[in-house]
Amino acid sequence: MGPVTTIFSSLDTDYRDLRAKAVAPLFSTARLRNASLHGGVIQECVSEFVTQLASLKADCKTNHAKLDILDQCARLSLDVVTGYLLNEPYGGLAEHQQLPMEKRRNAKLSINPFIFAIVGFSRFSLLPNWLFKFMYSLYSRFSFSEEVGRCFVSMDSFARRLVSQTLEVDPAKRQDSYQTRLLAAGITPAETEVQCQAVVFAGSDSTAVKLATILFHLVQNQDCLRRLKEELQAAETEDEGVALQEQPYLLAVIKEGLRVGMANPTRMTRVVPSKGMLVGDVYIPPGTIVGVAPYIVHHDPAVFPDPFAFRPERWLEGGRDNGLKRPNMDRSLLMFGAGLRACIGRNLAQKQLTETIKAVVKSSVLEGARTCQKRIELVEWFNAEIKGHTLDIEWP
């Protein structure tokens, strides 16, 4: 995000801790649960997402057209992250609603170039820092189009307006938000704007890709879709507030989607601490950069037999009511990283995935659909990117 180091890129523990601790309460399970008790922005966005899917489905069936579910998921994720954290949805779901249905169906989220540009230069993130800065400079100079520039200006204006509006309110009367918490921690308005932009990217793109991946596989596996719908209907009949742990097949579907999708397939790097470390019989000296690639552990056949298949059942034992299976599978699931630098927004991402999948499955909007490609191809940069930025489905 330019010259400002963000929560997601800082190697300075004190620098990051000040900022991360300020905003961490926003991502707690308790706050997310309380925010959802009587509706809330996440539920509003999910409801609008499902409504639009149903409308687009009807149009696609009538006109034998395709629907890009990745773009729809990107719209939802953008509005969930900005609505929940910044207290104002960016407007991804509202965008293009005034257009005729044919144009609306083919229109793409306007902020996509901003997201794609950041994902693009993240391919250099594992290079030495001096080389990364050089490559970033070249990439910025030769790869950023006018369209990307307009997106950056739009996102910058959005963040600046929200921070300015927050500053105009008496600190004692400010609504709880990402920007409010950063300002209260002593972070400058200019940096707060950049931190807000960074969390929009970090929180929306990867979740959109994972949501689209899960929906894609549910379309391809209509038996899974039916089984999940049966479980959700049973849970709703028994107790409308049933916990996720009591809906094992839903949890299995989400875990399997995160396993095959991977938010960050390439190496997650760490620096060996001052005392060094021993891995087996091998001593690794302090300061060494080490890492593990989720792609490797997520597709280890010793842990996940038939690793490239989407099989939620692998997470269950003896049926849907007997709990989760094989603890080593959970230890091998690096969907949000691990340790102190694990994804700060993992609870929000899980909440969005859970609420959206439940709503989509209950709506029956995916029933009878089919995918327009056999499998998802990923570009394995730091952030997983679906080739072509498109994932089409249709209703024959």
Are 77 and 205 within 8 A, CB to CB? Answer: yes
Are 68 and 391 within 8 A, CB to CB? Answer: yes
Are 206 and 349 within 8 A, CB to CB? Answer: yes
Closest residue by Cα to residue 374 from 393, 353, 396: 393
Are 154 and 111 within 8 A, CB to CB? Answer: yes
- The string of pLDDT tens digits covering residues 228-277 is 999 999 887 655 555 555 789 999 999 999 999 877 767 778 889 899 99
**pLDDT for 95 beyond 90:** yes
Q: Select, from the ranges 160-169, 274-283, 385-394, the one with the highest average predicted confidence (pLDDT).
A: 160-169
Predicted confidence band at 387 (pLDDT cuts at 50, 70, 90)? confident
How many CB atoms are located within 10 Å of the residue 325 CB?
A: 16
Cα distance between residue 109 and residue 107, in whole Å: 7
pLDDT of residue 139: 67
Predicted confidence band at 34 (pLDDT cuts at 50, 70, 90)? confident
Which residue would you say has higher pLDDT here, 35 or 188? 188
pLDDT of residue 245: 59
pLDDT of residue 112: 85
**Tokens (6 digits) for 107:** 């229109």
Predicted confidence band at 80 (pLDDT cuts at 50, 70, 90)? very high
363 phi/psi in degrees, rounded to 5 = -75, -15
**pLDDT for 287 beyond 60:** yes
Q: If you average pLDDT over residues 192-211, what whole number do you get?
A: 91
Q: β-pairing, 384-386 with 392-394? A: unpaired
Which residue would you say has higher pLDDT here, 24 or 38? 24
Q: If you average pLDDT over residues 373-381, what whole number do you get?
A: 83
The answer to the question of whether 343 is labelled as a binding residue is yes
pLDDT of residue 204: 87
* pLDDT above 70 as % of the chain: 89
Q: Which of 22-36, 46-60, 102-116, 126-140 has the lowest mean pLDDT?
A: 126-140
Cα distance between residue 384 and residue 386, in whole Å: 7
Are 329 and 259 within 8 A, CB to CB? Answer: no
Cα distance between residue 220 and residue 283, in whole Å: 46
Predicted confidence band at 38 (pLDDT cuts at 50, 70, 90)? low
**Tokens (6 digits) for 153:** 């200006």
Q: If you average pLDDT over residues 94-107, what whole number do you get?
A: 90
**pLDDT for 91 beyond 90:** yes
Q: Where along the chain do its domains lie?
A: 13-262+347-394
Tell me the DSSP string of 272-306. Answer: --TT-EEETTEEE-TT-EEEE-HHHHHT-TTTSSS
Cα distance between residue 45 and residue 65, in whole Å: 25
Cα distance between residue 105 and residue 72, in whole Å: 10
Predicted confidence band at 328 (pLDDT cuts at 50, 70, 90)? confident
How far apart, in Å, are the Cα atoms of 375 and each of 219, 276, 325?
12, 42, 26
Q: If you average pLDDT over residues 101-122, what whole number do you get?
A: 82
Angle between helix axes 189-220 and 112-121 (nearest 10 degrees) is 90
Which residue would you say has higher pLDDT here, 14 or 180? 180
Are 211 and 74 within 8 A, CB to CB? Answer: no
**Tokens (6 digits) for 251:** 């949890």
pLDDT, mean over the chain: 87
Residues β-bridged to residue 67: 393
How far apart, in Å, are the Cα atoms of 180 and each of 21, 79, 255, 381?
13, 19, 33, 33
Which residue would you say has higher pLDDT here, 36 or 375? 375
How far apart, in Å, are the Cα atoms of 396 and each of 32, 51, 66, 215, 373?
38, 20, 10, 17, 14
**pLDDT for 321 beyond 50:** no
Q: If you average pLDDT over residues 79-96, what whole number do you get?
A: 96
278 phi/psi in degrees, rounded to 5 = -115, 120
pLDDT of residue 343: 84
Closest residue by Cα to residue 92 from 109, 69, 71: 109
Secondary-structure class of domain 13-262+347-394 per CATH: mainly alpha
pLDDT of residue 319: 36
